[in-house]
Amino acid sequence: MSNKENIEGINTKIAACFEKIEVSLLEAENIAGLFEILFAGVEKEFEVPFVWLTLMDTVNNKPIIAAIKSSDVLQDRLKVITPELFREILPAGLKPVLVNKDLQPYYKLLPSNRKYFVKSLALVPFKVNDEIAGSWNNGDAYHDRYTPDMETNLLQNLAHSLSVRLTGFVSAIK
């Protein structure tokens, strides 16, 4: 098998894992369930050891924050920060950010009551009703798990699916 065939095979497998998670999001019955399914899928399909959520403290996010805090699975995997701090740390809009150097500024996204030993991060912003609401974050103890030169289209596509489902749940509450 050639190196090109090997890479294509790996890419096909990765895309299938993302698709599996995306399809499973349709099974969610509520906001907490949506993130529980997302986190479990990312942890299982990609063996990511640290997955958590950062939300901006806004009026629009109140129902999401309440739902996450009501989940035994998610409540200690949440960090709520000001919109200003979020935009300072992740100014790139909806484009996922992959980092493995100079991680100090990103530690502000970590849950206060749970410490992770991370050496690389994938920070994936998502929106609700066309406004960025926060990010789901993947962390790994391996330095080269996430590097800035990696492609992020599949992460961005999954974030879009998450945003669509989340917007539906939030709209149903209002």
pLDDT at residue 98 in the model: 96
Residue ranges with strand state E in the chain: 50-56, 78-81, 97-99, 120-128, 131-140
Low-confidence ranges of the chain (pLDDT < 50): none
Are the CB atoms for 126 and 169 separated by under 8 Å? no
What per-residue confidence (pLDDT) applies to 105?
93
DSSP strand pairing (78-81 vs 50-56): parallel
CB 53 within 8 A of CB 35: yes
Number of structural domains the chain divides into: 1
Return the pLDDT at 19. 96
Q: What CA–CA distance (Å, rounded) separates 136 from 38? A: 9
What is the CATH number for 72? 3.30.450.40
The answer to whether 17 and 43 have CB atoms below 8 angstroms apart is no
Q: Please tell me the predicted confidence (pLDDT) of residue 12.
A: 87
pTM: 0.94
pLDDT at 117: 85
Parent domain of 153: 3-173
Q: Which residues contact 14 (CB under 8 A, 6 or more apart)?
A: 154
* Cβ-contact 146, 168 below 8 angstroms: no
